[in-house]
Chains A and B, each alone.
Chain A
Amino acid sequence: KAGVTQTPRYLIKTRGQQVTLSCSPISGHRSVSWYQQTPGQGLQFLFEYFSETQRNKGNFPGRFSGRQFSNSRSEMNVSTLELGDSALYLCASSLSGQAILNEQFFGPGTRLTVL
């Protein structure tokens, strides 16, 4: 069974640009969550999608957005990139909406560098 895949694995952008990251969950999983990992702030929750609906959102500015498609694949978009957006972006998928019941499986992440 294939794991969570994230594309691209590495990305370099310049300030002011926008970027789209993609996440393909494990087959059958309907929940996709996104996290930002930085050395200074650690792992921070961005948002969670379940059956194409955003169900939960972290404390990030509106420049960070996402969506989920009918096949459960998810994308996140960051507009007007800032230097501080440089981070590892992790995607996690699970069967349903409760971490206590279903394990969240994490992808390898997309390393975004903003110059």
Chain B
Amino acid sequence: AQSVTQLGSHVSVSEGALVLLRCNYSSSVPPYLFWYVQYPNQGLQLLLKYTSAATLVKGINGFEAEFKKSETSFHLTKPSAHMSDAAEYFCAVSHFGNEKLTFGTGTRLTIIP
């Protein structure tokens, strides 16, 4: 069985401040981890994914995430928040040979001007 837990359903940061969205995983097999973003009234868009090639993964829009096996974590960060980053963010896990994504409950990010 595999699952992800996102700590904090709502996160608020000031514009220009560091963004940190937390995700911890549980998986009985080597996990593949993803971060998706969802803007209002839209589908999900892939930000980045970890597929064991490198533990530090860079994605679109200046986001990055680091896979830490010892902490079973895959936290999403961005050095400087922008107003356009306001959205809902989902962490997801899959494993080799499986198209199914298991999502976390999501974190709504609010940017304070």
Contacts and interface: CB of A to CB of B under 8 A. Distances in A.
A107 B51 CA distance: 24
A66 interface: no
Interface in A41-66: 42-45, 48, 50, 55-56, 58
**Majority DSSP secondary structure for residues of A touching B:** strand
Interface string A101-115: 101101111000000
B100 A98 contact: no
B12 interface: no
Interface range, A side: 20 to 34
A33 B103 contact: no
A97 B97 CA distance: 7
Nearest to B42: A108
B67 interface: no
B98 A4 contact: no
Contacts of A48: 99-100
Contact of B99 (A4, A90, A97, A109): A97
Nearest to B46: A103
A99 interface: yes
Contacts, number: 67
A31 B99 contact: yes
A98 B99 contact: yes
B101 interface: yes
A91 to B, nearest CB: 8
Given A48-B99, A106-B44, A100 B51 contact: yes
B42 to A, nearest CB: 6
Which of B49, B90, B99 is most buried by chain A, counting CB atoms within 10 A of its CB?
B99
B45 A106 contact: yes
Given A42-B106, A43-B90, A43-B103, A56 B98 contact: yes
Interface in A78-104: 90, 92, 94, 97-101, 103-104
Nearest to A6: B43
Interface of B: 32, 34, 36, 41-46, 49, 51, 90, 92, 94-106
